Amino acid sequence: METIHYRTAESAGLRISYREAGRSDAPILLLLHGFPSAGHMFRDLIPLLADSFRLVAPDLPGFGQSDLPSRQEFEYTFDNLAEVISRFTEVIGLKRFAIYIFDYGAPVGLRIALKHPERIAAIISQNGNAYEEGLSEGWNPIRAYWREPSQANRDALRTFLSPETTLFQYTHGVADTSLVSPDGRSLDDHYLARPGAHEAQLDLLLNYASNVALYPDFQAYFRKHQPPILAVWGENDPFFLPLGAKAFRRDNPQAEIHFYPTGHFALETHCQEIAAAIRDFLARVFDLQRA
C-alpha cells in the first residue's frame, strides 16, 4: 500500500487542499474531480497507480476541503477555477504532467492546456466532455437557465444540489448498485450542505455555458497539439453521452477509447479496469517522451 499524504497549499489567495502519493521524481498525473465531488473520488484509484506515478488530486475552490470563499470574495466561474488550479500546479512545482479530467475537471484542465500546452503530457478523460454531441437531454433545465438566467430558472436547479440527485449520479446506469460505496456520495452531500455552497454551485451551473462556448477552442487544441488522449467512459452516464468520447477521434485520430458498462462515477464500479488502462497508456506516453 502506497502512502497518501494530505496537504494544503495557497494559490491565488485561497487554501487548496490536495492528496498526493508516489515518488517525487515519478511521471505526474494531475487528477481533476467533477461535480459535486472532490479529490476523495480518487481514493481507490490513487493506491493502484502510486507505485509508478506521482498523483496529485486537488479539491477545486468551493469543493471538498478547499476554501469556500463567499461570492463577494470570489467569482465562481470556470475561468477562475482554472486560474487557481493552474497557479496551484506552479506552487507545488508541477512543470509537465498528464491530466485526468472528469466532469467539471474537464473545462478546468482543458483551460490549463489551452494556456500552457507545453505543460500537458497527456489527457485522460473519464466522462470529461469537450463536444456538444456529448451533452444529453439531462442538460435541458440547465440550458434553460443559460438562455434566461432568471431567479425562477435558478431556483429550479436547486434539485441538482439535493442528496437524491447525488444518489442518482452515483447509481444511474449501474447494474449492481451494491458496488457503489456510500462514502463518496455522503461526503459530497456533506460539502454541498455547507453555508454558501448552493449559491456557489448555482453560479457554476450558469457559467457552464462558457465551457460549451470554448468547445471549438478545445477541439482546435486537440488538432494542433495532438496530445495523447485516453477516454475511459461510463457508457450509461445520464449527462455525458458516449458520443462525447468517440468525438475525440475526430480531432485526434490516435485517441484511445474504452467504454465500461457503468454510469457517471465510473471509478466507483470499474476502478481496477480503468487503473489498468491508465497504467498501460501512461507507460507508453512517458516512455516515448523520454526516448
- The residues annotated as belonging to the active site are 264
Residue 8: CB partners within 8 Å, gap ≥ 6?
15, 16, 17, 18, 65
Strand partners, 15: 10
Distance CA 216, CA 221 (A): 9
Q: Residue 282 and residue 110: Cα distance in Å, rounded?
A: 18
Q: What is the Cα–Cα distance from 235 to 261, expressed in whole angstroms?
A: 6
* Sign of CA pseudo-dihedral 158, 159, 164, 167: negative
* End-to-end Cα, the chain, rounded Å: 30
Q: Is the peptide bond before 216 cis (omega within 30 degrees of 0)?
A: no
Task: Give CA–CA dist 81/30, Å, rounded.
Answer: 15
Element (H, E) at 230: strand 229-234
